[in-house]
Structure 1
């Protein structure tokens, strides 16, 4: 399986993976956990200098792993910039322009709004930089600026609880790929033991990757994708996802998603550390919900019903495929570059139908290097099918 890792800086844990296997994802999450720092700080303890977040005046905390120093310099990610813009009500486009063109103006704007409410509290999620013995502090990474009532549901804990729920469901499954970005974790799970024939849906279709025929392998497997965000970019979710075996295209059904939101109570200032009892109850609920979701999504009846729902629209012949794809891209706000790849996959797929558009979108999603973009595109496959069938 191909694998890509992105490292923010040599002093912090790597923060990204694309199409990793489960073992590598777990290793990466464990590495991140050793560098995590979550702190509740007042506005008066925060300021920007040279575009970087400075935390000053927050007391160090003694934990099981030793003294946790909070004060330091943290380089914000794009997600953190979005949080700053949202919490301080600075237009995001303007903030991005200042970061690109005038960092001193960015500092001035953000600091002015922080001084406006000096006692207002935020949660800062960060990665610590390495601080070797006798060495000066190294800058870390500011991952997010969140509400002080944000409930921590970390990727590693959520993943372990979810996999326990999968095990308790009793269904034979395997993890087919994992992604980790600054925004979200994605874990794709499949059960080839639960597969149905979809001859009508795959008639005349060819894999754009190797030319294999859907007529020869007309099978669709049951599955789902687990997602979680540690930085306020969405709830913990389990979304049903069927997989076309001939090309590995994944089709997510977002209408049936199971979710658990990150919402808690106000917290005191300082380093955030949830009690063992609170964490245990949250994770037990995740395990239970996951087991229930898996029993529903990994059933032959569920997959067959979803296949029947899309067959009629998928069979609609497109008289002018190029115009239909342009219409779909415009209506779903798909960019020109991705639209052109979709058109190429559509031609190679050989289905001159609305279903062919759906397949082209899901196959294009497989090759995108940006995992967030890929997941968003895959989620558009069914709306694209409806739009293409209506356009004709």
Structure 2
């Protein structure tokens, strides 16, 4: 869903760290968290309205929380899930029959008027606000900006020389790709016969893999805070995420009573200290040459398996991994451009295709399946 100004952007793709921080700070300044009972929620004109909720008082002033908010696509999904309304149906009513949208939402809210939710939004400051999420009142808030600052602090404490390989922000998640070119391993088997579809460089001329990891967080209930090891190919900057070694922190806490959520500095400090510690752990574990060599060895075992029937193999991989027909065709195109007619070539095709997707969520999902794609191709 596209949200017009005067709001800060809700999405970024392949952004710099500075761009990400600027947008997160702008969002943070408008953040509203309210524990609201169902009888103070109302749908009107396919918007959510908070009725009679108390204002948010901070050092910067007083911000009204009551008023109209336009739900994002993920928030509509939250509403549908929480109220037991089929999501495709609710989305259709938004575009085709807003009165039916209101009737469905209000009707189900009225069945349990004392049920409590956590409402996460951005204040309108004189305009209609943005409803970002409708969550359980036991949801533990770990905001993107806080996570980012704590993780960067943990990385800095280790003294590791890292590079930010890019950042994405969606209505659901934040992603930060971290690489450390000083920690690398020789991986000729992994890139044998491969040529970058972006630069034309041959894998034989750049047979190196860099250490790194992917930091991800959702502040709207779409997944835990995670740090996942990620190897980067020198030849094309394709990323290979090692999902089995992920570090995770789930957003669950105690149930909260009605009202504006005011997190104590002690609570926030404890949460951020844990994030900082996890980032230090990730650096020490994943930015380690022995770790990288071990993973390269594991991946190289199947990378060289020949692919006899590329189109059938990629169709099989796409079906098993639930890729769309369009994604399947893009992967096949990158496979032939890459030139490695092997299971490793399938992995490279998946991860390079992910780089050109405009949708950061789809790109993340595709890249995260790269190793699975190789294993499926090798066993086909």
TM-score (ref. length: structure 2)? 0.98
Q: Tell me how far 1:170 sits from its aligned partner.
A: 2.4
2:32/2:56 contact within 8 Å kept: no
Q: Tell me how far 1:169 sits from its aligned partner.
A: 2.0
Partner residue, 1:233: 222
Structure-2 separation of matches of 1:304 and 1:20: 30
1:284 aligns with one of 256, 266, 273: 273
Is the counterpart of residue 264 in structure 1 residue 259 in structure 2? no
2:13/2:360 contact within 8 Å kept: yes
1:13/1:35 contact within 8 Å kept: no
Q: Tell me how far 1:316 sits from its aligned partner.
A: 0.8
Structure-1 separation of matches of 2:345 and 2:62: 58
2:80 aligns with one of 65, 81, 85: 85
Structure-1 separation of matches of 2:163 and 2:359: 23
Over 3 Å counting, the alpha-carbon distance change for 1:187 and 1:61 in structure 2 is: closer
Is the counterpart of residue 246 in structure 1 residue 246 in structure 2? no
- Aligned to 1:199, the other structure's residue is in SS state coil
| Pairs within 5 Å for 1:32-181 | 32-131=27-126, 138-181=127-170
Of 190-199 and 169-178, more deviation after overlay is shown by 169-178
Deviations 1:155-187 (A, max 9, x none): 111101001111122221111101111000000
Q: Tell me how far 1:81 sits from its aligned partner.
A: 0.7
Deviations 1:62-96 (A, max 9, x none): 33222221111100001101110111111212222
2:177 aligns with one of 175, 178, 188: 188
Deviations 1:187-229 (A, max 9, x none): 0000000011101111111001121000011000000010010
2:363 aligns with one of 355, 368, 374: 374
2:189/2:303 contact within 8 Å kept: no
Structure 1 vs Structure 2 CA RMSD:
1.1
Over 3 Å counting, the alpha-carbon distance change for 1:7 and 1:109 in structure 2 is: closer
2:206/2:235 contact within 8 Å kept: yes
- Aligned to 1:295, the other structure's residue is in SS state helix
1:274 aligns with one of 251, 263, 281: 263
Is the counterpart of residue 201 in structure 1 residue 190 in structure 2? yes
Unmatched 5+ stretches in structure 2? none
2:228/2:242 contact within 8 Å kept: yes
- Aligned to 1:266, the other structure's residue is in SS state coil
- Aligned to 1:221, the other structure's residue is in SS state strand
Deviations 1:7-60 (A, max 9, x none): 622132211111111011111111111111111111001111111101111122
Partner residue, 1:222: 211
- Aligned to 2:165, the other structure's residue is in SS state strand
- Aligned to 2:189, the other structure's residue is in SS state helix
2:63/2:123 contact within 8 Å kept: no
Structure-1 separation of matches of 2:7 and 2:31: 10
Structure-1 separation of matches of 2:110 and 2:52: 15
Structure-2 separation of matches of 1:78 and 1:219: 40
Structure 1 ranges of 4+ moved more than 4 A: none
| Pairs within 5 Å for 1:348-387 | 348-387=337-376
Deviations 1:357-386 (A, max 9, x none): 000000001111111110000011111111
Structure-2 separation of matches of 1:331 and 1:68: 49
| Pairs within 5 Å for 1:23-38 | 23-38=18-33
Of 49-58 and 188-197, more deviation after overlay is shown by 49-58
Unmatched 5+ stretches in structure 1? 1-5, 132-137
Deviations 1:329-382 (A, max 9, x none): 011110011111110100010000111000000000111111111000001111
